[in-house]
Structure 1
Amino acid sequence: MDNKVLEQMYSSAIIPVVAIDNSDDAVELGKAFLAAGIKVIEITFRTAAAADAIRKLSESGLDVCTGAGTVLTVEMAQKAVDAGAKFLVSPGFDEKVVGWAVEHDIPMFPGITSPSEIAMAQKYGLKVVKFFPAEAAGGVKMLKALKGPYADMRFVPTGGISAENIGSYMDLPNVVACGGSWICPSKMIREHQFDEITRLSKEAVKNIHDIFLLHLGINAQDAKEAEEITRAYAGLLGVPMHDGASFFAGDMVEVNKTPGKGTHGHIALSVRNIDRAMAYFKSVGYSFDEEHMSADEKGIIAAYFEGEFGGFAIHLRRHL
């Protein structure tokens, strides 16, 4: 398995499932997804334009990992790979197709809905499979149930995924990414509504990470000044004041008793999953201060970005 493919899937978190009628639209579609930080595309073999669309995207120079979906036969698999597909996806488990992909060292994600099919996937050495049709097959509850007996297996849920429910899938540790077509309806592609596809993609990314402002951190020179600043904010906001390692006015304003990171202080952003959020931000060009991270038994709790933003350090914080 090409680890780079999995890394790109994980950082993008959503894999657009595309049915494209005109291969000339492929490159503009790729740019529309890239504008939202999505770097993986599955082009399904449901249209005659699929192979040519994969070829044009693969040869475009765009930083997009392009794969082929609805791969039903070995012949289709060969055609997809010849066109430049970096991975293959099928709706079900066909041993001939899976065997061919494994033999040729092509990342393959066959569709499964049962423990028996997972056992078949394990026989071929697969670590990641497609869970399809996700919502109809039990959705989040089914994936939670499968986590116990198949702790090492990871999934790409597809089918019935939407802006409303993708967040619940992202909460599961055994989910690599979700496949979805709602961000790229064929009609929008035909009508060249690429700006709208970017908007829907950005909305999906927002729902995946569930980013919101957690608190503002202010640097004080000493404990006395910190207490005065906190008391002022507590009065202004009508919230209680808390004293600990630093002062808090409610849960909105933190005041450090000694100067901390950032010229003026820091801004804390809460996210659903730190590891996934870091992977996403790294994929779109941000870097993190590896020396200033905190963790617990569940993984990283908080991570600072490199540098400052308007005089403030910014860190991600796992949802409380």
Structure 2
Amino acid sequence: MAVKPLPTPLRAIDVMLDAPVIPVIVLNDVAHAVPLARALVAGGIRMLEVTLRTPQALACIEAIAREVPEAVAGAGTLRSAADAQAAFNAGARFGVSPGYTSALGQACRDLQLPLLPGVATGSEIMAAMADGLTELKFFPALQAGGTAMLKAWYGPFGDIRFCPTGGVSPANAADFLALPNVACVGGSWLTPADAVAAGDWGRIEALAREASQLKRG
């Protein structure tokens, strides 16, 4: 099957619509980065959020960007302009953050780095909208109200597209994806820590393939 080419420059909505799930990846060993990325791509998932939660994260992004051209390496847990710059320098092509500040938004605009900023309240949505952002991460999704909150937001924020992340699993992903204001979901279940540690790339490919077949509303 031919791989759909990505637009240049890449936009946040392109990241969200490429597949139903963006994997939230925590890597502790650079040696795992490339085979993990290849397994996810083989399963139909190429937008890869590598979280900046470990000392090896930037090196992992750099390795994926250099050695797996079919993947689109992104950086999660961006909290500052310095994080955005470091991620960009490592080869990240999009960023994801747990919250939002105008300083982070400006840094990503300056770098032309698409950003999915985390929001959990109406005021945070409006702050992101004021800076021109309309594709947002709903985080932590389950703890902040889940599908009920997204349904409530659809009235006043019907023009915003969300990527719910945090507590999303195979058990509830379809419920989120059925909503008209959800473009995709983020989840860590595609890359279980035990599978990564064991190098069980076949299991991860299978999980990615299942996730890539999830239907949107």
| TM > 0.5 | yes
> Which one of 125, 129, 133 corresponds to residue 140 of structure 2?
133
Q: How far is 1:5 from its partner?
A: 5.1
Contact 2:10 2:114 in 1 (8 A): no
Match of 1:102?
109
Give, as a single letter, the amino acid of the residue that structure 1 aligns with 2:198. E
Residue 171, structure 1, aligned to residue 178, structure 2? yes
Residue 197, structure 1, aligned to residue 199, structure 2? no
Query: In the TM superposition, what are the counterparts of 1:277-316 in structure 2 within 5 Å?
Result: none
Residue 161, structure 1, aligned to residue 161, structure 2? no
Contact 2:88 2:111 in 1 (8 A): no
CA 1:86–1:130: 2 relative to 1, 3 Å: same
What's the CA shift string for 1:122-153, capped at 9, x where partnerless? 11100111100001111111111111111111
Identical amino acids, percent of aligned pairs? 37
Give, as a single letter, the amino acid of the residue that structure 1 aligns with 2:133. L
CA RMSD of aligned residues (A): 1.7
* Structure with higher helix content: 2
What's the CA shift string for 1:95-146, capped at 9, x where partnerless? 3212211233221111101110011001110011110000111111111111
What's the CA shift string for 1:31-72, capped at 9, x where partnerless? 111121111100000011111111111111431111100111
Contact 2:140 2:167 in 1 (8 A): yes
5+ residue gaps, structure 1: 210-271, 274-320
Match of 2:36?
29
d(CA) in 1 for partners of 2:46 and 2:31?
Answer: 19
Give, as a single letter, the amino acid of the residue that structure 2 aligns with 1:52. A
Match of 2:192?
185
CA 1:23–1:38: 2 relative to 1, 3 Å: same
Give, as a single letter, the amino acid of the residue that structure 1 aligns with 2:165. T
What's the CA shift string for 1:192-217, capped at 9, x where partnerless? 011111122223234x12xxxxxxxx
Q: How far is 1:23 from its partner?
A: 1.4
Query: In the TM superposition, what are the counterparts of 1:126-275 in structure 2 within 5 Å?
Result: 126-206=133-213, 208-209=214-215, 273=217
The alignment covers a number of residue pairs equal to 210
Give, as a single letter, the amino acid of the residue that structure 1 aligns with 2:42. A
Larger RCO (CA within 8 A; separation ≥ 6): 2
> Which one of 84, 93, 106 corresponds to residue 86 of structure 1?
93
Contact 2:12 2:135 in 1 (8 A): no
d(CA) in 2 for partners of 1:135 and 1:20?
Answer: 24
TM-score (norm 1): 0.62
TM-score (norm 2): 0.91
Match of 1:44?
51
Bigger radius of gyration among the two = 1
Contact 2:85 2:111 in 1 (8 A): no
Q: Which runs of 4+ in 1 moved over 6 A?
A: none
Residue 76, structure 1, aligned to residue 83, structure 2? yes
Q: How far is 1:24 from its partner?
A: 1.9
Contact 1:2 1:107 in 2 (8 A): no
d(CA) in 1 for partners of 2:101 and 2:196?
Answer: 30
> Which one of 74, 81, 84 corresponds to residue 67 of structure 1?
74
d(CA) in 1 for partners of 2:193 and 2:156?
Answer: 38
SS across alignment from 1:15: strand
* Structure with higher strand content: 1
Match of 2:122?
115
d(CA) in 1 for partners of 2:53 and 2:111?
Answer: 23
Contact 1:30 1:62 in 2 (8 A): no
SS across alignment from 2:137: strand
